[in-house]
Structures are given as C-alpha cells and as structure tokens.
Structure 1
Amino acid sequence: MTPPDPAGGAALLRYRPTDPAAAPAVQELLDELGLGRLEPEDLAGYGGRNDNWAGRTSTGARVFLKTVARAPDGTSGELDRALSFETLALRLPPGSDLRVPEHLGSHRPGAVSAYRLLPGARSGAEAALDGDFDEDLCRTAGRAVATLHGLDPRGAGLDEGEPPLPPLDWLEAFPWSALRDRSMGQIAAWKLVQDDPEVVAALRGLRERERAAPRTPAHCDLRFDQFVLAEGQLYLCDWEEFRLADPARDVGAFVGEWLFHATCAVFAPTGGGEGSQEPAGFDLSHQEVLRRGGEGLRRHLPRVEAFWQGYLERRTPDPGFAERAVGFAGWHLFDRLIATAQAHATLSPVARAAAGIGRTLLTRPTGAVTTLRLHPPTGAVTTLRLHPPTGSTR
C-alpha cells in the first residue's frame, strides 16, 4: 500500500527499511526524477511482501518508493499492470470520485515505482479497526470503485489474463512446489475447501459465471489496507493485480472485508466493539458465538449497504452481478483465513467461523443477496450462520 507521510502524525507501525544501497534502482529512479537522495534520518519502511521506503529526499520531496515482484527473466507483470492503471488514471477528470496518489515515475528494470507521500494519511484498515470507516466513507468507496469500473480501457494495454485466485487446480490437490511454502495452518485452511465438495463445486461455478460476465477495469485485490485517508479524502492504491476482469470481484471483496471484521469481532471482550483492547477467550459457548456474530453483522451491514448504494449512484451493474459479488465475498473470507493462517500451525476459531460464513455465501449466494442488502428484497433470505469454535464448517 502507499503509506502515510511519517511527518503527518499517522499511527501506523514503521520499520527500519532495507538499506537503499542494496537496491540501486531506487537511487537510479530518484536521479531520473531529479529528486536527490533519500535522507537516512527520515527514512521508514512499512509492512508488506515487497521492500519499500518512505521519507524525505535531499531536495525536500516526500516520497514513497516500492518494489514489486520480478520474474527470473527480469520482467514484472505486477509493474506492467500497475503502469497500465496509471495510463488510465491520467484520463480521470478533476474532482473524480476515484482518487489515487500521484505517481511520480517507475524504473522498469528494477521494478521500482515512486509516489508522492500523502500528508497526514492513515490506512483504511486502521480506520476500520478504529470504527472510523463509517457509512459516509463506505458510500465514497462505492462511488470510487464504480468510477474505476466505468473507465474506458481502450488503448491502456490492460492485462486480459484471468485473475489467479481462487486457483482451480488447487481445489483438488496442491502442487508440491506450493505445499513446501505453506504453513500447517494454511494447509488446514485449504483442506476445509478441498474436503467440501459443495464449496469446490460452488467455486468452479463462480469461475464459470465470471468468464461469461462483462469485463471492466478492476482492482482485483481490494482490501481495506488498499484505501488511504488523507486530508479528508479517500484514496485507492496498489494496482499490481489491476486488469480487465469481472467487476463483481471488487464489490465482493469489499463486502467480504466487513464480514471478516464481523467474524473477528466475535472474540472481542465486549462482543465486537471496535475499541476492544484484548481478545476474549476462545471457550465461548455456541449461543454466545451466535449472539456476538449477529451483533457484528448488524453493526457492519449498514456499511455494506452504504457502499452498494454509492456504487449504484455511479454505475448500473449487469444482471447476476449481485449474486457473483456474494460468491466473491465468500471466497474473500476463505482467502483471508488462508492468509492469516500463514504464521500458525492450526486454525483458530476465528478462521473456522469465517469459513462457515464463506461457505454459506458460496453455496447459497442468491438468498444472501438480500441479507447483505445488495438489491431490493426478492426471494428467500439466507441466514449467515457462525459456527462454534470447535464445530465443523459443514
């Protein structure tokens, strides 16, 4: 993500970054842009899978630089996709609902990009945890995502390849190369998927409907930490997965983020308040899990609805869009539990509860559309049930 300006008082964790001298392309890019050298006393790094640097340069510019992955031959699909978005971003009119940090330039051989640091910014993930990602911001996010989906992709060289997740081949078995890099917790999470024929069939069906759906420019990696709040404005960042794709992916991911938060809140000491300081014990009764889960869903559903209404203010989706979005929300819950299981040997009760909701959304998306307030009530309503910590996700 594009982080907040360290001088702006943001409350995000900062780390000692990799020595820029170990990445010569960073200085080469700064030289090309005429921005001088990074000042070591003001240099910070932020969490993430790629090296990044944030701070002031010798010319006084405040910049954020990040690397992205490169293939063995030196090419970078991630950088190519991000730059294709920047081509489209140049077409955004002043005052657009879609706001993005200013891209200063990129160094293709080194797969490094530079952005202007946003003053006084904070991550959308932090805002969500603090309870500040409110309905107004969700409506703003909906308008921004709809604006993205409405961009004309012609001439921008967008990637037209199918998004990699969920990997259909992995629904049957892991390739050995992937298995070696997964924790025991992640393997257990994948087994929840692989051992459930209904979930496997639902994911295959979702990918089939996705292939038949209209494609638009889409972020394809939408999470709260891809949003940044700065000077009263909401920005959307991180375009390494940007491509022509089913726009329902992005809507489903945003919905899935709130559902994952609601699931995590089950184990907060106050039953889900955002201000909780310590987790509750995992020995909650079945009824207590259901009660707290219901409270979390009721608290977050107005935010989901606000996002959807903002989206509809800027774009009319195709028939079947809401059902696909619900399916992608279900996959997002599995994706998040797989990601959070990376550092664990077993699955937590939170992960199992998320899997239970994800299963409901994937296998019964039509009824869940109404529950999630994604279109006017029609048909049967599906209840999103949380499973007890020790129970099955079936």
Structure 2
Amino acid sequence: MTLTATRPTWHSDPVLRGVVDATEDLLASAGPRVRVTEVTSPGFIGRNGAWVLALDSGERVFAKQISPDKAGPAAFDRSIAFASFALKHPLHAPPGPRLISSCRERDLLVFEHCPGVSLAQLLVDERIPAHFSAGTGRLLGRLHSGPVEALARTYHPSPPVPALQEGIPQERYVEFTLAEIRFWAELQQDSTLVQAAADLRHWESEHQTAPIHGDLRLDQFHLRDAELRVLDWEEFGRGDPARDLGTLAGEWIYRAVLDVVTSRAGAPAPPLQFDSVAATERITERMHHLAPQIRQMWTAYRAQIARADDELAVRATAHLGWHLVDRSIARASLVAKLPGIERAAAGVGRKILLTPGRYAAALGFEEFTS
C-alpha cells in the first residue's frame, strides 16, 4: 500500500471528523490522551474506509472503518478474531500491524501504522526479494499448522456459484458495465465451468481444517526491514489451506499476465497485436517462468507442515485456475470492453480449473509426500 501525500479536509468532513474523534477516544482508553494532527488517505481504493492518522505524540496509526455491505457482515469480527489468534499463538500468526483498539458501534479498527512497500508495487518495480517465495511458504505453513479451536468457518463469496447458476440480482445487474454483461453471459452459459466452480466450493467445504487468511493478494504483503508482513484479515477463520496457496499463486500469475504486453522479467518484446493464440502462448511462457518460484513456495511450505491431505496440491491448483477467471470478472467491472489478454487469461484459468491434476506439477504444486 503506497501512501500519497493528499490531505483531506477532515475538519469539515463529518465522516472523517467522526473517525478522528472515535480514534482519539479509543487511543485514550488504551493509553495517554493524544490528538490527531493530520489525516492522510492511502493511495488505493478499497472496500473499506482507511486513513493514516498522525498524532501529536509523533506516532502514526492506521484507522480502518469496515463496510459490512462491501466487506461482509463478519469482516469486523474476523479481524478481531485474528488479533486474538495472534496474541494467543504468536508462533503461528504471520507478522503484521498490531490491533490497538476497536469500536464495534462504528465498525472501526485502529492498528499500528505499517510502513513499508507492498509486494504488488515491488513486482511492478521488478524488485521482488529473492527470499519472498520461500519466506511466504514458511509463513503460510506456520499459519496453517495453528490450532483451529473456536475459529469460525470461512465462507468466501468466490467462486460465486449462486450467481453463476441462478443469475445476478437485479440491483447489481443494473450497475453492470457492457464488459460485465457480455462476460457474465459467457460464464453462465458455460455449464462445464459452472459445474467445476460448484465442485470446487464443495471440495473446499470438506477440507476446512486450518486457520487461513482467506483472501491473499500481493498487495496484502508488505516488506519492511526485510520482513514480510501480512495485512487485512477480514476473511480469517477455519478454512481450506488450498485457498491461500492457490489464490496467492494465481495472483502472482495474474500479475505476470498483466506484464504480457511488456518486456519485463526478461521476456522478449511483445507483438504489436495479439490474437487469442499468441496471447495464450505468451501467458503460458510467463507461467513457466513463474513455476520455479511457486515451487519454492510449495517446498518451503511442505517443510513446515507435519502432514496434509493427498489432494491439497490439486485443490490449490484449482483455486489458482479460478483466480485467473475471477480477476477477469473484476477487470470487466472497470471497462466497457474486456481486453483480449484478460480473456486469454480467463481461458487459461478455465483449463486449469477443469483439470487441475493435469497442471499441478507443471505449475509448481507437486504431490505432497510426508
């Protein structure tokens, strides 16, 4: 999360004024009275309200106001649950900003400020640290080895099987872009894909055996002083570890897909125009380039896990495939016409989702052996 230097007029904004007042009260309950001297908006658009608050003590805190409509009604409680988990099980909880205080009435969470650079930005800058792959594998291995007692089961909205099988609610459909209308129609008419998505949800529900993050993306990893820190635990709970592994690997590959139209990462210059065949070939090249890094993550992960079910690698690969489709769904919500490279990525993801066992080893998820 890269922060910009913008300064909202929070004195005259009733929402921000309420957040500032509530934050000052929460901090006073946890220590000496402090005053907010500056409010800075993060340089990203998320589903929740988020601000960095400078205090008269010279410190900074990060305030997040959960939006139940966008983040889900359980997002606040799941964030609190992870904070409790981290206190009780520090050997299993990944490093991250400490939750200082919270206010359920306002859905407000106040964290330590977490400076540093997101892995998403480092990827764009081609500065991903060499230790990221193995470090992430060890981090997830420790998390997934943690106790699950008292943890609520996760239920992530993706894959959105009801929307694929039954249709989009009218209030959502009227807000669709032209790209969404076309892409969703294609997905819903693809009965093979819809069944594979439903099978993945059922498969996942049978393996909710570990504490998981539930929504891993590269921008939720921050690097500070060579240490990986993980943010945003609004989907935390007892779930299938394959979701964390596959979604992260899928996000990694999707970011590489966005690079298909560039010559970054040592790739040759792209063609002036892409047809579906050329785009798919280019994506496949990038996937092969990333497979050794995914393999490093998986190898380090396996070294941390005492035992795992035999299908973990294949389920992780299925989640990887769906993630490529899901990112194209998200992209369609922002444009009038879905770019050809995004369509090609969704097509590759579909193939992986339908037959994950065929692609698991090639993508770095070899069969688990204890």
TM range (shorter): 0.7 to 0.9
The TM-score, its normalising length taken from structure 2, stands at 0.88
- The answer to whether 1:296 aligns with 2:286 is yes
Tell me the secondary structure at the aligned position of residue 347 of structure 2: helix
State the Cα deviation string for residues 338-375 of structure 1 (Å, max 9, x = none): 12222211111122011111101111111111111211
Structure 1 pair 12–187 and aligned structure 2 pair: CA distance change class (3 A): farther
Q: Which residue of 1 aligns with 2:22?
A: 25
Q: Is the 8 A contact 2:4 2:41 kept in 1?
A: no
Equivalent position to 1:347, from 317, 338, 354: 338
Residues 35 and 61, structure 1, Cα contact 8 Å, conserved in 2 = no
Contact 1:29 1:106 in 2 (8 A): yes
> Quick check: 1:240 aligned with 2:230?
no
Aligned residue for 1:370, secondary structure, equals coil
Give the structure with the larger helix fraction. Answer: 2
Aligned partner letter, 2:225? E
1:284 equivalent among 274, 282, 304: 274
In 2, distance between residues paired with 1:197 and 1:151? 38
Asked if residue 81 in structure 1 is aligned to residue 83 in structure 2, the reply is no
Q: Alpha carbons of 1:305 and 1:35: their partners in 2 closer, same or farther (altered >3 Å)?
A: farther
- 2:36 is aligned to 38
Aligned to 2:225: 231
1:159 aligns with 2:152: yes
Q: Residue 252 of structure 2 aligns with which residue?
A: 258
CA distance in 2, matches of 1:318, 1:373: 17
Match in the other structure for 1:212: 206
Q: 1:116 aligns to what?
A: 112
What's the CA shift for 1:165? 1.6
Given that residues 313 and 367 in structure 2 are in contact (C-alpha distance below 8 angstroms), is that contact kept between their aligned partners in structure 1?
no
Report runs of 4+ in structure 1 exceeding 6 Å deviation: 279-282
1:370 aligns with 2:361: yes
CA change 1:261–1:338 in 2 (3 A) is: same
TM-score, normalised with respect to structure 1: 0.83
Q: Which residue of 159, 162, 167 maps to 1:169?
A: 162
The CA distance in 2 between the partners of 1:182 and 1:27, in whole Å, is 40
State whether structure 2 residue 143 is matched by structure 1 residue 148: yes
CA–CA distance in structure 1, aligned partners of residues 271 and 102 of structure 2: 47
For residues 71 and 348 of structure 1, the distance between their equivalents in structure 2, rounded to whole angstroms, comes to: 29
Once the two structures are superposed, residues 88-126 of structure 1 have per-residue CA deviations (whole angstroms, 9 ceiling, x without a partner) of 1012346x672121221111111111111134x001111
**Amino acid aligned to 2:354:** T
The CA distance in 2 between the partners of 1:181 and 1:281, in whole Å, is: 35
Q: Secondary structure at the match of 1:174?
A: coil
Cα distance in structure 1, aligned partners of 2:53 and 2:152: 32
Aligned to 2:13: none
Contact 2:328–2:345 (8 Å) recurs in 1? yes
| Structure 1 range deviating more: 340-349 or 226-235 | 340-349
The equivalent of 2:319 in structure 1 is 328
- d(CA) in 1 for partners of 2:349 and 2:312? 18
Which of 54, 57, 63 does residue 56 from structure 1 map onto? 54
**Matched letter for residue 223 of structure 1:** R
Is contact 2:279-2:341 (8 Å) kept?
no
Map Cα deviations across residues 119-159 of structure 1 (whole Å, 9 max, x no partner).
4x00111112222224521111111112111111224xx32
Deviation, 1:309, is 1.2
Percent of residue pairs bearing the same amino acid type: 30
Matching of residue 273 in structure 1 with residue 265 in structure 2: yes
1:199 corresponds to 2:193? yes
Amino acid corresponding to residue 99 of structure 1 in structure 2: P
Structure 1 contact 46–52 (Cα < 8 Å) conserved: no
Question: CA shift at 1:169, angstroms?
Answer: 1.0
- Paired residue type of 2:164: L
2:103 corresponding residue in structure 1: 107
Question: Cα 1:29–1:45, aligned 2, differ >3 Å: closer, same or farther?
Answer: farther
Output the amino acid matched with 1:346: K
SS across alignment from 2:106: coil
Q: Indicate conservation of the 8 Å contact 1:215/1:247, yes or no.
A: yes
* Cα distance change of structure 1 residues 193 and 274 upon mapping to structure 2, 3 Å threshold: farther
State the one-letter code of the partner of 1:78. Answer: A
Structure 2 counterparts to residues 59-70 of structure 1, below 5 A: 59-70=57-68
In structure 2, the CA distance between the partners of 1:282 and 1:117, relative to structure 1 (3 Å rule), is farther
Task: Return 185-194 or 337-346, whichever deviates more.
Answer: 185-194
Q: Map Cα deviations across residues 283-307 of structure 1 (whole Å, 9 max, x no partner).
A: 2255643553243123211221111
Is residue 311 of structure 1 aligned with residue 304 of structure 2?
no
- Within the candidate set 328, 344, 349, 1:337 is matched to 328
Q: How far did residue 261 of structure 1 move?
A: 1.9
Kindly state the Cα deviation for residue 185 of structure 1 after the two structures are TM-superposed.
2.2
Q: Which AA in structure 1 matches 2:366?
A: H
The C-alpha deviation readout for 1:211-245, integer Å capped at 9, x for no partner, is: 22242111111100111111110011101111211
CA distance in 2, matches of 1:14, 1:186: 34
SS in 2 for 1:319: coil
| Matched-pair contact (CA < 8 Å) for 2:211–2:238 | yes
User: CA 1:354–1:17 in structure 2 vs 1: closer, same or farther (change >3 Å)?
Assistant: farther
Q: Partners of 1:366 and 1:215 in 2: how far apart?
A: 21
Q: 1:62 to 1:14 in 2, by over 3 A?
A: same
Conserved in 2, the CA contact under 8 Å of 1:163 and 1:245?
Answer: no
1:313 Cα offset (Å): 1.4
Aligned to 1:360: 351
